[in-house]
Amino acid sequence: MKQSKIAPYLFLLPGCLVLGLIIFYPLVQAVWLSFTDYNIIQDPNFVGMENYQTMIESDLFWKALGQTFLYLIVVVPALVILPIFLAILVNQKVKGIGFFRSAYFVPVVTSMVVVGITWKWVYAEQGVLNYILDLMGLSSVNWLTSTSTAIFAVMAVTIWKGLGYYMLIYLAGLQSIPSDLYEAAEIDGASKFKQIIHVTIPLLAPSILIVSIMSSISAMKVFEEIYVMTGGGPLNSSKTIVFLIYEQAFSRLNMGYASAIGVVLFGITLIISIINLKVMSKKEKVA
């Protein structure tokens, strides 16, 4: 018996309708809005490249863009490298390892709002972190209220929250590495550390790529931790592109201008994805 001709389309219809409604239609609309002066109150007027012009001339835009890249440069390497060691640690066959795996995953399931509040308390002027610094003989720091540290303090929280998630991705990768490779390395007299460098890391390459793509895309979109912990301040020192979009669109109602910034964000995300895909296909050819 043959399947009917329209069956596949019927199956696809509900999902594609939703995707059309929440992605394709809004995409077209967003690009259109970026060429208008829409502010919710009045009907949109076509203004050509004016929003893009304003954007290029805005110091705040360039500052936010720079800080977004700073975010990318610090957070992505940290989230690519640190969870590898964490995954190796929780891949040890010791009693109670399941408990530790779960403990490291707790920040992942906790909402970013509570994580932000928790860390605000840790970062407080008379908080635990400054106390620890004091014990080590260092002077205390106004983590979230100083322009030179605020964005880094927030980055640390982004990294902290992501560790457990990427750890599991690497753990999945580790458990698929065949054991005879370690055996061979051990026979050749390689130390545990050398085994990690020469066996584990190269064979984790696919996982490393997945983590770099996922963490760079999520770093581009960072918002919640900034909103909760610094509100973009002090003096815009922790504002990123997405924060700027939110602020322009929903506190100043500059929907047109915010859409123009959104289009730029889209462009950058696309470039990053393409670079990642290129690197990936090259790696696949080598392997």
- Site track for another protein across 264-283, x = CB under 8 A: -xx--xx--x----------
Q: Is position 5 an interface residue for another protein (rule: CB under 8 A)?
A: yes
Q: Report the C-alpha gap between 15 and 9 in whole angstroms.
A: 10
Q: Which is nearer to another protein, 11 or 62 (CB)?
A: 11
The residue (of 84 and 242) whose beta carbon lies closer to another protein is 242
Residue 81 binds to another protein (criterion: CB under 8 A): no
10 Å CB burial of residue 175 (0-12, 13-18, 19+) is exposed
Tell the residue number behind the tokens 């290129």, with chain if given. Answer: 278
Kindly indicate which of the ranges 71-79, 141-149, 180-188, 197-205 contains the residues binding another protein, using the contact rule CB under 8 A. 180-188
Q: Does 145 bind another protein (CB under 8 A)?
A: no
Stretch of 28-36, 56-64, 68-76, 197-205 lying at the interface with another protein (CB under 8 A): 28-36
What would the 3-class secondary structure string for 131-155 be? HHHHHCCCCCCCCCCCCCCHHHHHH
Among positions 198-237, residues that touch another protein (CB under 8 A) are 207, 210, 220-221, 223-224, 227-228
User: Any idea what DSSP says for residue 248?
Assistant: I
Interacting residue with another protein among 154, 168, 219, 226 (CB under 8 A): 168
Greatest CA span in the chain, whole angstroms?
80
Give the integer Cα–Cα distance in Å for 67 and 75. Answer: 12
- Binding flag, residue 22, another protein (CB under 8 A): yes
